[in-house]
Amino acid sequence: MDTIEKELKKIKENLQKWNRPEILAACIGHMDLTSLNSTDTKSKIEKMVEKVNNFPVNFPKYPSVAAICVYPNFAEVVKKKLNSQDVNVAVVGGVFPSSQSFLEVKTQECRIAVEKGADEVDIVLSLSHFLEGEYELAAKEISSIKKAIAPAHLKVILETGALSTPEAIEKASVLAMEAGADFIKTSTGKMEPAATPEAAIVMCRAIKEHYRKTGKKVGFKPAGGISTPQDAILYYAIVDTILGEEWLNPELFRLGASRLANNLLTELENRPINYF
């Protein structure tokens, strides 16, 4: 059994350590509440934002989500409708989810989204370059977009399901961080496999090593297929085990999800909840 499998097995054997109401509640505060559908409309996004606005009144015991994540054209809608200054406006940019276009187009899309109110931009690693071994070109895209959106935060999605080995995931992690990523993220949620615990372990190890070398803390965001409280607890446990408590805050750990919030609330309240 390799070291990744051994570490994952050990974490799972001790998962009850983290399976506590206060950690389930904390996971709500780590969420990027997400709507990325072709059928999204202004009114649908406004309704989602209104639910976030009213969340502290309806569920005062729990933290608000960390961010609302939408397509770039809805950044201004979220910014105008959102009341809480503690909830960030996040968008997926750079021609999400394929990242298949001209760098100038990707850069402009991300820059405009920030001008319209986005605090954070999630882009996809250029797999067309990375899978061809054109690592400098893949890194240039990240650094160019980071420069265009500064001081907004940049999350780079590795699309780990398209990377066939742990070594490839590690290489992509290092490339993204060295190019300026503030976060590295597992998946778009638009292809399978999406987030996996094994990929999370590789990425968190890479983050730890990057911090050792540079002193810079890069965040981690698993996303794609994360829907149950047990999913959330497992990724929380991985971050705690490898990176430690100092990463367990919304500035350095996010959960990308659209269905998770209701399932966490259902578990915590011990009754069916479909608030979001």
Domains of the chain: 3-269 (3.20.20.70)
Instruction: Give the H/E segment covering residue 140.
Output: helix 135-149
Share of the chain above pLDDT 90, in %: 97
Cβ-proximal residues to 174 (8 Å cutoff; 6+ apart), any chain? 206, 210
Catalytically active residues are 122, 185, 221
What tens digit of pLDDT does each residue of 139-170 get?
A: 999 999 999 999 999 999 999 999 989 999 99
Give the integer Cα–Cα distance in Å for 64 and 180: 28
Residue 19 confidence (pLDDT): 96
Residue 1 confidence (pLDDT): 46
* Residue numbers in the chain where pLDDT is lower than 70: 1
What tens digit of pLDDT does each residue of 13-22 get?
A: 999 999 999 9
Residue 190 confidence (pLDDT): 93
Residue appearing with tokens 């047990």: 230
Burial string for 90-129 (b: 16+ CB within 10 Å, else e) reads bbbbbbbbebeeeeeebbebbbbbbebbbbbbbbbbbbeb
